[in-house]
Amino acid sequence: MINDATTIFKRPESLSETVTHYCPGCTHGIIHRMVAESLDELNLRERAVGVAPVGCSVFIYNYFNCDFMEAPHGRAPALATGFKRTRPDMICFTYQGDGDLASIGMGEIVHAANRGEKITVIFVNNAIYGMTGGQMAPTTMPGQKTTTSPFGRDTNLAGYPIRMAELLATLRTPSFIARCSTQTPMHIVAAKKIIKKAFRLQKEEKCFSLVEVLSTCPTNWGITPCDATQWIIDNMEPYYKLGVLKDPEKGEG
């Protein structure tokens, strides 16, 4: 009987067999898989180099079967710039959270995008600092309670959440900028297509690409995984609109 079985679903070659350390209900695992599938399908694994951030996904290098470097907090786009300029024949991507990219790494991401570095950035936005224990991020929603905003984010003092995709899409330099989400299988299917396109554009040496992925953090949001997906729909999605903001192939680049 087993001889007749055919494989219809398997671990992407780009993912290692290491069990991740992520919390139940966290979508990092799903996003890792989408990145890995994209590398596999575009046949990029053997020339891919990832740049790990500081944040929950700091150990991403343990979960992938491709080369990795581990960046200081926020600096991944600078490392990717250095590597890619030195090895333009390789594929280089960063994987960064919202504290890493939108706070301490704001300078590096804006300038890498503006120079049009031929790199791919996967930007995971869960509206909070995860690894350090749930502090307010630049992306934290108005009124959202965190350990450093126990009465909710006060926009008078902390301003409004930064919409990174929109901010980067204002730059004149051609690039691919999109936002997608992970809260339902339908969203995940759409997100996969966008992530794969981001890597394809790099493979074709076209432009800088950044995909912002809305993600959950049940642990630090203090709710169940199921409630967390609903929380994205109710709170994040109205503010962080999904879609492609800039696409060189649609004349918007």
Partner 1 sequence: MAKKLMKGNEAIGEAAVCAGALNYFAYPITPQSEVAEYLCWRLPEVGGAFVQAESEVAVGNMLFGAACSGKRVFTTSSSPGISLMQEAISYMAGAHLPVVLINIMRGGPGLGGILPAQSDYFQATKGGGHGDYRTLVLAPASVQEAVDLTILAFDLADKYRNPVMIIGDAMIGQMMESVEFPEKYREQNDPAESDWALNGAKGRESRILKSLYLDPEKLDENSFMLANKYDMMKKDEIRYELYNISEKNRLLVVSYGTMSRVIQTAIDEIGEEEGISVGLMRPITLYPFPGQQLYDEAVKPNIEKVLSIEMSVGQMVEDVERFVRGKKPVEFSGRTGGIVPTPDDVKGYIRKSLGIEK
Part in contact with partner 1 (CB under 8 A); list of ranges 81-89, 151-159, 163-171, 194-202: 81-89
Q: Does 75 bind partner 1 (CB under 8 A)?
A: yes
Q: Smallest gap, in angstroms, from Cβ of residue 20 to partner 1?
A: 15
Residues 124-163 that bind partner 1 (CB under 8 A): none
The enclosing H or E element of 140 equals none
Which residue from 23, 103, 115, 235 is in contact with partner 1, where contact means CB under 8 A?
Answer: 115
Residues 3-62 that bind partner 1 (CB under 8 A): 16, 45-49, 51-52, 58, 61
Q: Smallest gap, in angstroms, from Cβ of residue 131 to partner 1?
A: 11
- CB closer to partner 1, 35 vs 49: 49
Do the strands 175-181 and 243-246 form a parallel or antiparallel pair, or are they unpaired? antiparallel
Residues 6 or more apart whose CB falls under 8 angstroms from that of 46 comprise 66
Closest to 237 (Cα-Cα) out of 218, 213, 221: 213
Which residue from 33, 40, 41, 111 is in contact with partner 1, where contact means CB under 8 A?
Answer: 111
Which residue from 30, 34, 71, 162 is in contact with partner 1, where contact means CB under 8 A?
Answer: 71
Q: Are residues 41 and 24 in contact, defined by beta-carbon separation less than 8 angstroms?
A: no
Which residue from 30, 31, 35, 78 is in contact with partner 1, where contact means CB under 8 A?
Answer: 78
CA separation for the pair 115, 201 (Å, rounded): 16
CA separation for the pair 250, 57 (Å, rounded): 32
**Residues in binding contact with partner 1, number by CB under 8 A:** 37
Closest to 235 (Cα-Cα) out of 124, 125, 142: 142
